[in-house]
């Protein structure tokens, strides 16, 4: 499985933007309390009150008309960036990356996370045909220093999850699905490929697979996530968005989904 490095496409996007002026996407969130002191922005002719993070496709035209907002976007180097937008001001348009695909992907993921019904674990519910759709890891996966907790849903109570080395078939982790698993660096090596089996007495799902990101990328992500944790402009609602942007920039869809799920609590 190829280690996806979305940043390598940024140079191409920047060169294309010189020919075609693409709009840049971002998130805007209200800053400060109390919540009743609504932050209002103007997007073209539309006035919008912000009660939480909201995605905008053309951030360069958005102006804060009341209150203060925090903008989250990718800059021209592809780095997640936060910026305070005062009343009467707009985003620093010269900083915006015109490659808006990662921001839009996170926006779509956020919408799905906040509007989809909660996962069900009742026995006999409909099964999906891919392990990834029951919460199993897929694609390239980043493991933080503290490990990555993985939970499963839409499975019977007797279901078990088994993770094995794709090259040797040696089982490295196994547990009841209801208990979940923690993927950690002590058991899963950087760059390693692994298979995922969801075992149930009623249904057998086809195996899935994932690959742990390479060591150099893991170190970069460690540093980026530390910076997000220390950013004083972010809070419990906006910090997961910045993490999701980091993961989407690197093509880590599974990590992105886990980050966005933090906003459902």
Query: What percentage of the chain carries pLDDT values higher than 90?
Result: 48
- Of 7-21, 92-106, 120-134, 170-184, least confident by mean pLDDT is 7-21
Among 14-23, 60-69, 167-176, 221-230, the least confident range: 14-23
Would residue 36 count as lying in a domain?
A: yes
Give the span between the Cα atoms of 188 and 211, in whole angstroms: 9
Q: Is residue 238 part of a domain?
A: no
Same domain, 97 and 148: no
Q: Distance between CA 126 and CA 154 in Å, rounded? A: 7
46 and 87 within one domain: yes
Confidence band (pLDDT; 50, 70, 90) for 13?
Answer: very low
Same domain? For 167 and 99 the reply is: no
Q: Note the helical H segments in 124-252.
A: 215-230, 239-249
Same-domain status, 78 and 141: no
Same domain, 169 and 96: no
Confirm whether 39 is domain-assigned: yes
Enumerate residues 6+ apart whose C-beta is below 8 A from 129. Answer: 205, 206
Identify whether 92 is part of a domain.
Answer: yes
* Predicted pLDDT at 131: 52
The token duo for 77 is 């180097």
101 in the same domain as 17 = yes
Q: Is residue 191 part of a domain?
A: yes
42 with 90, same domain? yes
pLDDT digits (tens, 9 = 90+) for 184-201: 999 999 999 999 998 887
Whichever domain contains 169, its CATH number is: 2.60.40.3580
The domain in which residue 77 lies consists of: 10-115
| Interatomic CA distance for residues 148 and 70, integer angstroms | 28
Reported confidence tier of residue 117, pLDDT bands at 50, 70, 90: low
Same domain, yes or no: 135 and 109: no
Residue 223 lies in a domain: no
In a domain, 74, yes or no: yes
Number of domains the chain is built from: 2
Average pLDDT, the chain: 82
Domain final residue pick, 91, 115, 139: 115
Same domain, 14 and 104: yes
Residues near 57 by Cβ (< 8 Å), separated by ≥ 6? 23, 25, 100, 104
Q: Are residues 105 and 152 both part of a single domain?
A: no
- Cα 91 to its chain centre, rounded Å, is 23
Same-domain check for residues 109 and 15: yes
122 falls within a domain: no
196, 212, 228 — which closes off a domain?
212
Q: Are residues 106 and 156 in the same domain?
A: no
The overall pTM is greater than 0.85? no
| Total length of the chain | 265
Q: What is the pLDDT averaged over residues 164-184?
A: 93
User: Residue 138, Cα to own-chain centre: how many angstroms?
Assistant: 14
Last residue of a domain, one of 86, 115, 144: 115
């Amino acid at each position: 499985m190829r280690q996806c490095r979305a940043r390598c496409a940024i140079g191409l996007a920047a060169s294309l933007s010189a020919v075609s002026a693409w709009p840049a996407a971002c998130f805007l969130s209200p800053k400060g309390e109390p919540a009743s002191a609504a932050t209002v922005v103007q997007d073209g002719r539309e006035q919008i009150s912000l009660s939480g993070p909201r995605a905008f496709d053309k951030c360069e035209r958005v102006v804060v008309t009341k209150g203060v907002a925090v903008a989250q976007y990718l800059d021209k180097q592809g780095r997640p960036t936060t910026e305070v937008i005062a009343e009467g001001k707009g985003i620093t348009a010269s900083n915006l990356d015109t490659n808006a695909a990662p921001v839009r992907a996170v926006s779509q993921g956020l919408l799905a996370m906040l509007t989809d019904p909660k996962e069900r674990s009742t026995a006999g519910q409909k099964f999906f045909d891919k392990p990834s759709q029951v919460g199993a890891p897929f694609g390239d996966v980043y493991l933080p220093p503290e490990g990555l907790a993985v939970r499963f849903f839409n499975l019977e109570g007797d279901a078990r999850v088994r993770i094995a080395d794709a090259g040797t078939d040696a089982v490295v982790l196994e547990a009841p699905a209801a208990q979940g698993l923690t993927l950690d660096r002590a058991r899963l090596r950087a760059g390693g490929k692994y298979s995922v089996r969801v075992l149930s007495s009623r249904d057998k799902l086809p195996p899935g697979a994932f690959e742990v990101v390479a060591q150099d990328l893991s170190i970069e992500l460690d540093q980026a996530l530390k910076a997000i944790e220390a950013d004083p402009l972010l809070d419990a609602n906006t910090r997961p968005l910045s993490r999701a942007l980091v993961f989407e920039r690197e093509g880590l869809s599974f990590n992105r989904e886990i980050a966005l799920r933090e906003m459902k609590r």
